[in-house]
Amino acid sequence: MIPGVTPMPNSQTRDNTIAVALSHFPAVLSQGKLGTHNIYPDSDGIARQYRIYHDDYGWKLPSLPLRITQEFGYASDTPRDILINWRGLPFSCHTVSFSEIYQDTLKKVKLRPQNEFTDKIVIIGSTAPSLFDIKATPMAKLHPGVEIFATAIDNIKHNDYLRVPTTWLPYFLIALTILWATAFGFYRNLDKDRLAKIYGVSQFGLILLSYGSINFSPYYINLSGPVTLGLIYFSMAKLYAITTEKLLDSNLLTQSLGNAQIHGATIAVIRFHSSSAVIAPAIIRKMAKKIKHLSTERKDVEFIVGSQTGIWELLQSCLVITWTYASDDTTEK
């Protein structure tokens, strides 16, 4: 009995009663060009979505934005609910005071342009808070309902409402990649500072991707889940690495002091010189790693990088290699 209502495709319709406030204008009812205008906020009270049509008992009740865009041939296969692609803060749309227009119509000589609303979609609505058509949105706590309505029309017209991928597989693969890459870095004992920088840059890149997707495309790729999971894992792995390093850190020279057997020790200091007096730390770290794995004999390879002061300047840009041996072992000597 509601003018303009059609059956949902592939649905069984039923005769039921629903609560609808119909227009009192016979011309509107006879044309059947009616639509709903309902806002359904999320659980936190923020309106982020717009109901494009209602599916009640197999009947399709279109919203007024859908009805308007259908009349102009804009609407396509629009889902029931869309995530609104906001155009900006309140009053981003062009607005004109109703009182100014009304007063101009009473004047003998019209001051406003006669083609002011030609080829325009005109929405008459209120913006005063006392009229209770104000909603909370991600853009503002007080967002006029008429502008939310206009944004919904604009989204359907340009077909650029926000899309969110419904499949969880890409997010799962991204999170898995982050976890495995972090674990591999700690397993290969990569330099701590370098690992932290690589991880920080990668996470910043993912956040930048999410920001760019929602601001420069109609798609919202929400990577907050993988980033949060990766941050938790990296923090736990970092804490575990620091703890184990402190507990297990004991060089060969210290170990030999607690041994009843008399040991000898050799310390080799290799100093690097460059024009800037300070060699790149990455080069020293790389050489220290290669020397440590150069043979099967146990040894400690430490490095000192950076600019030192005082007597410690003698040890800047140095590799210190230490190994111990039994005092009666002529081969090791």
pLDDT value at residue 269: 79
Burial label for 299, CB within 10 Å (0-12, 13-18, 19+), is middle
pLDDT value at residue 184: 87
Cα separation, 135 vs 140, in Å, equals 9
pLDDT value at residue 72: 87
Q: Where are the domains of the chain?
A: 6-158, 169-248, 252-326
pLDDT value at residue 139: 92
Query: H-helix or E-strand containing 195?
Result: helix 192-216
> For residue 217, what are its two tokens?
């495309």
Cα separation, 14 vs 12, in Å, equals 7
Residue by residue, pLDDT tens for the chain (333 residues) are 888 888 888 888 888 888 888 888 888 888 888 888 888 999 999 999 999 999 888 888 999 999 998 888 887 788 899 999 998 898 888 889 999 999 999 998 999 998 999 989 999 988 888 888 899 999 999 999 999 999 999 999 988 898 888 788 888 888 888 888 888 888 877 777 778 888 888 888 888 988 888 888 888 888 888 888 888 988 888 888 878 766 665 555 566 665 656 567 777 777 776 655 556 666 777 777 777 777 666 677 777 666 666 666 666 677 777 777 766 666 655
- Non-local CB neighbours of 33 within 8 Å, separated by 6+ positions: 4, 67, 71
Burial label for 161, CB within 10 Å (0-12, 13-18, 19+), is buried
Does residue 138 sit in helix, strand or coil?
Answer: coil
Length of the chain measured in residues: 333
Cα separation, 64 vs 8, in Å, equals 17
DSSP E strands in the chain: the ranges are 6-7, 49-51, 53-56, 59-62, 81-83, 134-135, 143-144, 263-271, 300-304, 318-326
